[in-house]
Amino acid sequence: MTAAERRERQRAERHQLIITAARELAEAEGWEAVTTRKLADRVEYSQPVLYGHFANMEAIRDAVAVECIAEMAEQLHEARQAAPESDAIRAVCTAYLDYAAAHPAAYQAMFTLPTKVKFAHAETPAPLRQAFNEFVSAFGPYNDRNAALAELIWGSLHGMAVLLKSGRIPEDAQRQRLDLLITLFAKAPA
């Protein structure tokens, strides 16, 4: 049965190849350039092969989104670990905004383009949960209150990330705003 195993492995490799190619294409030319034909060209297979791996184009974008969320979750984790506990919130927030700025196409796939990825739901993929937990941990142990704080600060950060890209807030204003945000959430009355 090694033949079957090999085929399974090759299939998995190609699955990843598609995701990687889609991400690269999106980062190079934007998501509107990620079409079935261009993507098929890039992975050197015909279009129908894509549908052997994913239900449709949206599923491919969602797969990229989940992969990028995992990547971001890891960076949030590292940032939080590297900082003193008193600065955990700032570290995670900064890492979040940095990721959004450094990977615009990825961020778009994650949080602004239409997606079937579930948030705060039973089917929420593990990487998304991990990313969320980094925010919760920055506030302290997991409980309802800290989860709610995490959710709210995430929302604010998303707002900032969007404004930063579309409205081009000046750099220093951006920093002041982050300071204010952290002050509000850090000094949250119990």
Partner DNA sequence: ACAAGATTCTAGCACTGCTAGATTTTGAGG
Partner DNA sequence: CCTCAAAATCTAGCAGTGCTAGAATCTTGT
One residue of 81, 105, 168, 171 binding a copy of itself per CB under 8 A: 168
| Residues making contact with DNA (CB under 7 A) | 3-4, 6-7, 11, 34-38, 44-49, 51-52, 56-58
Position 133 contacts a copy of itself (CB under 8 A) = no
Work out which of 7, 143, 148, 175 binds a copy of itself, going by CB under 8 A.
Answer: 148
E-strand ranges in the chain read none
Could you say which of a copy of itself, DNA, none residue 45 binds, taking C-beta under 5 to 8 angstroms by partner kind? DNA
**Contacts (Cβ under 8 Å, ≥6 apart) of 74:** none
Integer CA distances (angstroms), 58 to 4, 54, 64, 154, in order: 29, 9, 10, 24
By rule CB under 8 A, what count of residues binds a copy of itself?
Answer: 37
- Whether the CB-CB separation of 46 and 103 falls below 8 Å is answered with no
Closest CB to a copy of itself among 53 and 90?
A: 90
Q: What share of the chain is helix, strand, coil (3-state, %, to 5)?
A: 80, 0, 20
Q: How far is the CB of 63 from a copy of itself (least distance, A)?
A: 18
**Residue 106, token pair as written in the block:** 């990825």
Binding residues for a copy of itself restricted to 105-124, rule: CB under 8 A = 112-114, 118-121, 124
Task: For residues 55 and 91, give the distance between their C-alpha atoms in angstroms, rounded to a whole number.
Answer: 38
Shortest distance in whole angstroms from residue 151 CB to a copy of itself: 7
Using CA atoms, how far apart are residues 72 and 79, in angstroms rounded to an integer?
10
The nearer residue to a copy of itself, 84 or 167, going by C-beta atoms, is: 167
Greatest CA span in the chain, whole angstroms? 62
Catalog residues that contact a copy of itself under the rule CB under 8 A: 112-114, 118-121, 124, 145, 148-149, 151-160, 162-163, 166-169, 176-177, 180-181, 183-185, 187-189
